[in-house]
Structure 1
């Protein structure tokens, strides 16, 4: 199956990027951060996420073990993506699919992750 390039942004458009891959499912996490943000995450290799905004124009929030950089817009406050490492050490991005243009969220299967237990 060929991969697709998806366009995404925060609400005000200050943070713009594209992500490439096969968007076949998303993950919902119940940790204290994700629960409040309501994100639906799609994980892609960090190399599959291309920023159109300088990285220094984003803000970063770290919490708990400080292993995930939760990126957000300092203007509108939306969290469009995060960055971290997969268990095998690969650089990964967690794209908030709610920030992707033109997708049908209801059509995506959701896997639930118990982040509170970690």
Structure 2
């Protein structure tokens, strides 16, 4: 596993994440499409915030189970808690995910062209 350093644009929000990045998730839901984030998913314990939680602004949308965390100064979203599966997804066997989606564009020194992209059909949810 690799320890990555990450931050928002203005560096007010700093974090570390332990992950082997094998692909990046490109979601087509309305917010991910507009944001342009390329995410990796990691377990809850893999993300360590190095700045106080009070320095972040949370945003909830849709079903209200996802939480996007933004820097209130520069507006960048370095990571988010993905939404819980819908009833239809649970019925189809989609397990809940208790971790983080980290914006790989916020990782220091990570080459986003070094791994493949995986399309996620979030718009269908």
For Structure 1 versus Structure 2, the TM-score category normalised by the shorter chain is over 0.9
CA contact (8 A) 1:29 1:114 kept: yes
Number of residue equivalences: 116
Q: Tell me the equivalent position of 1:61.
A: 59
* Structure 1 residue 75: Cα displacement: 0.2
SS at 1:75 equivalent? coil
**What stretches of structure 2 of length at least 5 have no aligned partner?**
86-93
Q: Tell me the equivalent position of 2:11.
A: 13
Aligned residue among 107, 110, 120 for 1:103: 110
Larger Rg: 2
The TM-score with structure 2 as length reference comes to: 0.88
Structure 1 residues 54-63 or 78-87, which shifts more? 78-87
- Whole-Å Cα distance in 1 between the matches of residues 65 and 15 of structure 2? 22
**What stretches of structure 1 of length at least 5 have no aligned partner?**
none
* Structure 1 residue 61: Cα displacement: 0.7
The TM-score with structure 1 as length reference comes to: 0.92
Which of the two has greater strand per residue?
1
Q: Tell me the equivalent position of 1:51.
A: 49
SS at 2:76 equivalent? coil
Q: CA RMSD in A?
A: 1.4
